[in-house]
Structure 1
């Protein structure tokens, strides 16, 4: 089993993903409370800009201070017991598929590869944590499309690489 996922093929930036560090990523979300509804990209960007603008104004008035993020014991325990996922789209965007890319091949360990249209792959959710621990068996991630996650269907497992290609 591979502990990382490689992006290769027709991309500007071949990247390697390490899902074990996503527990610290602010983009993660709890799969048990996932409803399929997501913020639009513009909404996320507006929230981010509003937050950074507010922080900038505060630092101009009061001077810079270290963040004082405090979590309760219950919140800390939830991180250690929960099941978390992250959207695949930001990683695809960072790899910058070439304009001619139309499909993604999901290479899987000891299983047949799966070919998906690029737009379907962008919608994907990667589960990286089960019972608060990194996924080891058939991992390092479980691959879901939103509708398969909501229907509680079996995920694609054993993913080792995403290869970006033109029409198969």
Structure 2
């Protein structure tokens, strides 16, 4: 149930979609393709350099925003909805190298090539009705513009930056 991001990156990282259900960054699938969610925040290169400096100098861990405490009602509500996770933040943390050209999504049936822009501006569907994807999982990839909303890339098991 893990999805590694490997290849032409500074840091190979491993995504664990099973823990995203309580992560504040998740987006309801029904709301994912609204115009306000389609705007990916561009991070200034200077800010990225400062983040790298902090990681290296102070050995600080980058902790994702996670709900610290939720009520029983909120927990029940979470377990009834379908969610996607924006991929851009994870791609930023992996730090794609300048000579990278594309990304290959290794799925359970075949490999799919996508541009780095498409990859960065994508969502990973990780839960349907509050449960991890068992069939064609661990994640499905949707473009933020909704162009593949009816036909997502399913069964994504690995992301290789080429």
- Do the structures match in fold with TM over 0.5? yes
Give the greater-gyration-radius structure (CA).
1
Unpaired segments ≥5 residues, structure 2: 43-66
C-alpha distance in structure 2 between counterparts of 1:33 and 1:11, whole Å: 31
Residue-by-residue CA offset, 1:107-161 (whole Å, 9 max, x unaligned): 111x121111101100010011101101111101111012337x74121111111
Alignment counterpart, residue 158 of structure 1, candidates 117, 130, 155: 155
- Matching residue of 2:61: none
Partner of 1:148: 146
Q: Distance in 2 between matches of 1:96 and 1:21?
A: 22
C-alpha contact (below 8 Å) 1:148/1:155 kept by paired residues: no
Question: How far 1:70 moved relative to its partner?
Answer: 5.3
Q: Distance in 2 between matches of 1:91 and 1:6?
A: 11
Structure 1 residue 78: deviation in Å?
1.5
Are 1:118 and 2:120 an aligned pair? no
2:91 and 2:120 in contact (8 A); partners too:
yes
Query: In the aligned structure 1, how far is the partner of 2:70 from the partner of 2:30?
Result: 23
1:79 aligns with 2:102: no
Runs of 4+ in 1 over 6 A off after TM superposition: none
The whole-number CA distance in structure 1 between the counterparts of 2:2 and 2:9 is: 18
Spell out the pairing of 1:131-142 with structure 2 (5 A cutoff).
131-142=129-140
Aligned residues: 137
TM-score by length of 1: 0.73
Q: Whose helix proportion is higher, 1 or 2?
A: 1
Distance in 2 separating the partners of 1:21 and 1:7:
17
Following superposition, the deviation at residue 24 of structure 1 comes to 1.8
SS in 2 for 1:41: coil
Could you say which structure has the higher strand fraction? 2
TM-score by length of 2: 0.76
